[in-house]
Amino acid sequence: MKAVAADTHPLVWWLLQPSRLSAAARKGFEQTPSIQVPTMALLEIAYLNEIGRIELAVPDVLAYIGQTPRFQLAPFDGGILLRSIELQATRDPFDRVIAATALYWQVPLITKDRWMQANLARTIW
């Protein structure tokens, strides 16, 4: 596997609690040469931090991405927006954009999310 995308919760667990990851998810983070981090995942991290669900700041995640060459920020652009609009099975905007990012880049998504596992052809957990 040359590339994967990371959903929000596995990214948070990778950074804060790697033991919560499945063996396959951990392997995805450890061994994949290119890990796409959707910008929407960073917005969700900011939201979860604001409401007190996690203690992780977006600047810290950006610093990690900047210091870890395998991790790249996947911007939210027009192509991903159009894919997001097609994903009408969920009203969750975070899930829609993160799933659309994986679809747009044609890479598996590391996720434990059941909706994403049911609606994307390629997921890792």
pLDDT at 42: 98
pLDDT digits (tens, 9 = 90+) for 61-94: 999 999 999 999 999 999 999 999 999 888 899 9
CB 96 within 8 A of CB 116: no
pLDDT at 91: 86
Percent of the chain with pLDDT over 70: 100
Q: What CATH class does 3-124 carry?
A: alpha beta
Q: Which long-range contacts (CB under 8 A, 24 or more apart) does 74-77 make?
A: 74/5, 74/36, 74/37, 74/38, 74/39, 74/101, 74/105, 75/39, 76/38, 76/39, 76/40, 76/101
pLDDT digits (tens, 9 = 90+) for 96-122: 999 999 999 999 999 999 999 998 999
- Reported confidence tier of residue 7, pLDDT bands at 50, 70, 90: very high
